[in-house]
Amino acid sequence: MATEITIIRHGETIWNAEKRIQGHSNSQLSENGIIQAGLVAEALAKREFDVLISSDLERAAQTARIINAKLHLSHEYNSNLRERSFGKVEGLNFEEMKARYPDEYSRYKARDPKFAFPGGESIEQLFKRVTTEIETIARKFENKKVLIVAHGLVLEMMMYKTFGLKLDDPRVFSINNSSISSFYIGDDHWFLKEWGVIEHLVSLNVLNEL
């Protein structure tokens, strides 16, 4: 037996559109992101869930509230489902980061698992935080259907865990705003059911995680 976890990446934000690094900083949903959240709510209304859990960062929380206006689930906020913290570079775009912090930028692009921007967290720390919390949720809601609204790198860590990928391996899959992915998790086994469903967004421009 396993818990079915369906996870949604939050709708597009203003900083997504501007290609700025968000991390733990808050950027409001763009007009496009609000539309995306409404469309994913319509798609999810055709499914059944027992509980809704979202990151407490506003872009995920707002997306979850839009979804829950349709689903009417019990809604929990969870700070362990936050995006990776990028410390001092939050709010910058990639060109600004590269110009101001060239050494740190190189280690970031190389996916050094132990590297963290000052005030931020490493990929290793993110992986441990996310996978530990997802397994805690799976145990708490054993054999139930859980809906989560979180962030691109949370989804990335779940995929790396599921397929046993090395944290410094380059990512070879897309993570779109307001996409739908599902996993079965139980007894320390992770299985992917579906990944990156965006049929509900076909009329919109969707953005990959930076």
83 is catalytic: yes
4 is catalytic: no
Q: Where does 72-144 have alpha helices with state H?
A: 94-100, 102-109, 123-140
Of 10, 24, 151, 200, catalytic: 10
Of 4, 12, 83, 133, catalytic: 83
CA distance 84 to 86: 6
Asked whether 29 and 120 are in contact (CB, 8 A), the reply is no
- Of 171, 201, 188, 91, give the one whose Cα is nearest residue 134: 188
Strand order in the sheet with 145-150: 75-78, 51-55, 145-150, 3-9, 180-186, 189-197
Burial (Cβ within 10 Å: 0-12, 13-18, ≥19) of residue 204: middle
Catalytic residues: 10, 83
